[in-house]
Structure 1
Amino acid sequence: MTAASSPGYSESGMPRSTYTTARPTSTETKPSFKTTEFFVFVAAVVAVLIASAVVGRGDGMVDRFPADQAWLYVTLLSIGYLISRGLAKSGSREPAGRTRD
């Protein structure tokens, strides 16, 4: 004959409330440095700064792409990058233990 457990207690005698429930972890997105938009962002910033340094250099030439305009473009690129990362982070979550086929 087996003894029945009391309500609220498991067969081991420990109250069920003391069991810890493991919350499943999830990954939202890849880290930013592992994404293609990060590399595109870095390449675009470098291209803008190099273009600003090269354009207009020389004897008697007017600087058609001054530094303040280049930094404005870098700022706009940064805003675009931050918005794209924000949209990527707001995507659906996927459990960390789940493997893709």
Structure 2
Amino acid sequence: MATQTTTDVHTARGSRRWVTETRPAAKTTELIAYVAAVLAVALTALFVGDGGDGGADPFSAEQALRYITFLTIGYMVARGLAKSGTRGNDSDHDA
């Protein structure tokens, strides 16, 4: 999951602003795992099968695209859940 940080920020005008943020997608382990899984599926589809024996390809490009689609849906759901608890900038705090 993404890490949330709440920070009390003093602006140039002297007012206070609370900032709650979730790490950008490029800095999360979900992205690294997603890219690694997509590469693994693509490389497996590339190298498995087509042995020249005339048999059926055990892991076709169609199956690879299906698995990559499932991985993409899972990644989008994971990022959505990570962002769902974030409310963004909140300047209504008076402390």
- TM-score of the pair, normalised by structure 1: 0.65
Deviations 1:30-68 (A, max 9, x none): 000100010000000000000011111211142111001
User: Which of 74, 77, 87 is residue 80 of structure 1 equivalent to?
Assistant: 74
2:50–2:57 Cα contact (<8 Å) kept = yes
Structure 2: which 5+ runs fail to align? 1-12, 90-95
Matches of 2:14 and 2:84 in 1, distance apart?
A: 26
Question: Is 1:37–2:30 an aligned residue pair?
Answer: yes
Question: Is 1:69–2:78 an aligned residue pair?
Answer: no
Partner of 2:47: 54
Per-residue deviation, 1:27 = 3.2
Partner of 1:91: 85
Matches of 2:66 and 2:48 in 1, distance apart?
A: 16
More strand by share: 2
Aligned length: 77
2:20–2:86 Cα contact (<8 Å) kept = no
Tell me the SS of whatever aligns to 1:27.
Answer: strand
Larger Rg: 1
Structure 1: which 5+ runs fail to align? 1-19, 96-101
Runs of 4+ in 1 over 3 A off after TM superposition: 20-23, 92-95
Question: Among the aligned pairs, what percent are the same residue?
Answer: 49
Give the superposed CA RMSD. 2.6
2:34–2:75 Cα contact (<8 Å) kept = yes
Matches of 1:65 and 1:51 in 2, distance apart?
A: 8
Tell me the SS of whatever aligns to 1:65.
Answer: coil
1:26–1:93 Cα contact (<8 Å) kept = no
